[in-house]
Chains A and B, each alone.
Chain A
Amino acid sequence: MAVIGSGSFGSVIANVLAENREVLLFTRRTEVADAILLRREHNGQKMHERIRPVMDPAEIADSCNLIFPIVPSANFREMTRLFAPFLSPAHILIHGTKGMDVILPPGMTFSRKDTDMGEQIELNRSMVRTMSEVIAEETAVVRIGCLSGPNLVGEISSFQPAATVVASRFDEVIAEGQKALKSSRFKVFGTHDVIGVEFAGVLKNVMAIASGILSGLGYGDNARAMLITRGLAEMTYIGGRLGAEKSAFFGLSGLGDLIATCSSKLSRNYSVGYRLASGEKLPDILDSMTQVAEGLNTLKVTKALVDHYKIRAPITQTLYRIVYQGTTVEAGMKFLMDYPFNVDVDFL
């Protein structure tokens, strides 16, 4: 089996997989391959002996039937296209990327650059792809799955217990994913709701930024609990409108991941929010980050979807105004506290 992508999550998943079998890790960078081969270290993680770096997509596809693509959503389609000529319906792909891809009709543009606020356009579902949809669009692979859950890299790499979910319409994919990932410290659940799991994992990144802001403002657990529950309601509304089952939002990839990311300083999205609330400017924050915070692109895409479908999503809309339109975090908080929420649980 193989992992495509040598970022921090790709590396940690390669390490988890290597506990069971040999793993090929695809990277395009020679220095990364060297670091793994020579020092057995990468991204601050020790790399397992059974991991072998590979730079040839054909070798990956020829030697492995089970492949885990884990690259940022901004590069996901390009990576998929690179592998597409070597992939067949015999392959199983389980991706671990929590992001969205935007496909627009000719004449429309949508900036992927995280510092750009994005053109003020509305997006509908037909213009947005989850990563499993990108794989289906670009390759002949049909047995596709998604890996998602509260899986903070720092904790997994320090061998702490964790759980995740593999979603696929195929039992076979879930079983293969479980067999490959399972260990005494890593529990793997399964579900058929791929779209639900994907959107749950994607949308919680927006809430993670908001949670970082609350912490940056010095607020405590009451405020965070409020954000998590109202954020979950908002995610459920948005996800439901985009074709997801509500149940996915209450599992590991929804509520589970939301609690983990909204409470942990290890989360990249959380730190973006935290630093924004501390008065840093977005370009400076991004300049100093070595890893991608998927939440920023997700925020732009979600805001454009929310506008199109007229979904009641005050947290997303307020966060967008704070990050991209100069609204102060204090003004944003005031808006949310004054917002006329009436019913506690109205999304089940």
Chain B
Amino acid sequence: MSTSDKKASYDPLMPDLNSWPVVQLSRNRLDFRKQVEEEAKARIHESLQGSLRDELERALFRESIRMKEKRWSTDPKDESAFWQGIKDELIHTSKLAEANSSKEADEKALSEIVSRYAKEISGKFNISVYKFVQRLMPVGFYPLLKSPVNFNFLDNKVSAQVRKRIQFTGDIDKIRALSKDCTVVMVPTHFSNLDSVIAGWSIGTMGLPAFLYGAGQNLFGIKLFAFFMNYLGSYKVDRRKKNMLYLETLKTYSTLALSRGCHSLFFPGGRRSRSGSIETKLKLGLLGTAIDAQYRNLLLANAEAPAKKIIVVPVVINYHFVMEAPVLIDDYLKTTGKESYLIDEKDKYSSSYELFKIVFKLFTKGSEFSLSFGEPMDVFGNTVDNAGASFSHKQAPLNIRDYFVSHGELRHDRQRNTEYVRMLGEKITTSFKRENTVFSSHLVAFAAFEMLRRRFPKMDIYDLIRLSDDERVLPKQLFFDTVSVLYDAVRKMADAGTIRMAEHLLDECKGDIHKIIEHGVHNVGIYHSKKVLLLNKKGDITSEDLKLLYYYHNRLEGYSLAKYI
């Protein structure tokens, strides 16, 4: 059953935090790291296309380039020296006549590299920090949700009231039930650096034990985030490191953590959506670890300890306002436009100061967001019941062991798993599309931008974002008519279950188009310095920033809605 849920909070499923898998993992982190290192090395050997020496040299080369071209403040000081040491060792042993000494040296170098990566990736979990954050966060969200700024810090009532202002959609009870006997992997859409904060807080509010979270290494440059993330079980994912040794170590870390029962959270889009549209292409690497972990669980299962099921839950997070939107859309236009678009803006939202400024704005003004939880599925995209039993799309019971069986036996097949990950990715993107929640701001942004596109059919996107002030004005009656038609279309889609509608469209705006326009125009990208949409003196609609209008419009891309304009 999928419902919109405004329950204030849920009882914790595991009140004793010491029993949480993520806490256990943190306490045994040295042993765990050792296991990661051993298994990662085995995986690396299994994946080798040429010799180990070739792979080591490739990793060395890629790391040298990274250190030269993409250095971050979070990078450890000793990394140049470390890689120089590896290089010297490899040069030295390549001169030796005995093949055995060279092989031994290669294995030693591999161990050192994998050990370094495993240490770098590992996170820890501190119960006190977790408790503090769970109580602090609602205070941060409170004004963000337009509630009066009148509260006592760390008051439980604040948490309850905040919770009431957030739209949670989906079968929360089912997710809670599943998390008891299964390992849950939450896969949210990714639009903002705030996503991880919101997802983390929501997990706590749902009464679930803390999730392991793969956080981008770049986020650790934001000191505000780094402090908490370092103690909340997040492990570091460095997207600059593309060498096979790193990727296999990272995947092994995630696979083993999942196999130990740690609920996890990945952003399968890999990075924040640049265009503002719902992700349709996913990075499948980390997602594949859910399938690897499921295989491992089946392999290790026996009559006394049956295989724990891995359950995937897609989540769509929706906002009226994405603070990084100006930088993201610039990046998107730069990538797609090449010479048509030559602006290079720095991601100023990835510093503590800028983040603080935005959070301050959120404190002093208000906005809202929603979390829509999709139907939980097994790692093959099949629906599951509350106990985690799988069913085919024809509602026939399934034994997921069958997916890994060849000639009657469980058999590991990397290529087969890769294909399963692709299939899972398709199910997740389909769920994203269905769970996307239409806000008033998305509706008006889509209507306005598509009206401009219709008015200037020969212009491409790079011309459209440079329209003059006069060219971008939309007559109010025409805009009203367009939003009306669009609203009807979206409503029909919502009735058919192909998209969701935000509660404010029906509650606050009562389906009244005037109110929806007023609400949407006011809220769309509410804290940007330039107004995404506004009314001029005549009451007509215009925009101060067409790039941002395009960004917010994109949230409804992919639904064939332009035909209604």
A-side interface residues toward B, CB under 8 Å? 65, 84-85, 88-90, 138-140, 142-143, 169-172
Contacts A88-B398, A172-B406 given; indicate if A140 touches B392 (C-beta within 8 A).
yes
CB–CB A142/B407 < 8 A: no
State how many residues of chain B have any CB contact under 8 Å with chain A.
20
Total contacts A-B at CB 8 Å? 40
Query: In the complex, how many angstroms separate the beta carbon of B271 from the nearest chain A beta carbon?
Result: 27
Q: A84-B394, A140-B394 known; A89 and B402 CB under 8 Å?
A: yes
Other-chain residue from B396, B398, B415 in contact with A172 (beta carbon distance below 8 A): B415
Min CB gap A86→B, angstroms: 10
19 A-B pairs with CB atoms under 8 Å apart are A65-B407, A65-B408, A84-B396, A85-B396, A88-B402, A89-B380, A89-B402, A90-B403, A138-B394, A139-B394, A140-B392, A140-B396, A140-B398, A142-B420, A169-B422, A170-B416, A171-B413, A171-B415, A172-B415
| B150 part of interface (Cβ distance < 8 Å) | no
CB of B237 to closest CB in A, whole Å: 28
CB distance from A331 to the nearest CB of B (A): 39
Are B419 and A90 touching (Cβ within 8 A)? no
Q: Which residues of A lie under 8 Å from residue B380 when comparing CB positions?
A: 89, 142
State the B residues within 8 Å of A (CB). 380, 392, 394, 396, 398-400, 402-403, 405-408, 413, 415-416, 419-420, 422-423
Q: A88-B399, A142-B403 are in contact. List 11 more A-B contacts (CB 8 A).
A: A65-B408, A89-B402, A89-B403, A90-B402, A138-B394, A142-B380, A169-B419, A169-B422, A170-B416, A172-B415, A172-B416
Interface centre among A84, A138, A171 (most CB of B within 10 A): A171
By Cβ-Cβ distance, the 7 closest A-B pairs, closest first, are: A90-B402, A140-B392, A89-B402, A171-B415, A90-B405, A89-B403, A88-B402
Q: Please report the C-alpha to C-alpha distance between residue A10 and residue B447 in the assembled complex, in whole angstroms.
A: 56
Chain A residues whose C-beta falls within 8 Å of the C-beta of B419 in the assembled complex: 169-170
A84 to B396, alpha carbons, bound, how many Å? 10
Closest Cβ–Cβ distance, residue B403 to chain A (whole Å): 5
Q: Which residues of A contact B405 (CB under 8 A)?
A: 90
Residue from the set B407, B408, B419 with the largest chain A CB neighbour count within 10 Å: B419
Query: With a CB–CB cut-off of 8 A, which chain B residues contact A171?
Result: 413, 415-416
Asked whether, in the complex, the Cβ of B423 is within 8 Å of the Cβ of A142, the reply is yes
In this complex, what residue of A is CB-closest to B407? A65
Task: Please report the C-alpha to C-alpha distance between residue A90 and residue B423 in the assembled complex, in whole angstroms.
Answer: 16
Q: How far is the CB of B402 from chain A (nearest CB, A)?
A: 4
Q: Which residue of A lies closest to B392 (CB)?
A: A140
B416 partner residues in chain A, CB cutoff 8 A: 143, 170-172
User: What are the residues of chain B within 8 A of A138 when measuring CB–CB?
Assistant: 394
Please measure, in the bound complex, the distance between the C-alpha atom of A311 and the C-alpha atom of B413, giving whole angstroms: 41
CB-based nearest A residue for B405? A90
B394 & A89 in contact (Cβ 8 Å cutoff): no
* A89 lies within 8 A of B398 (CB): yes
- B408: which A residues are within 8 A, CB to CB? 65
Q: Which of A84, A85, A172 contacts B413 (CB 8 A)?
A: A172
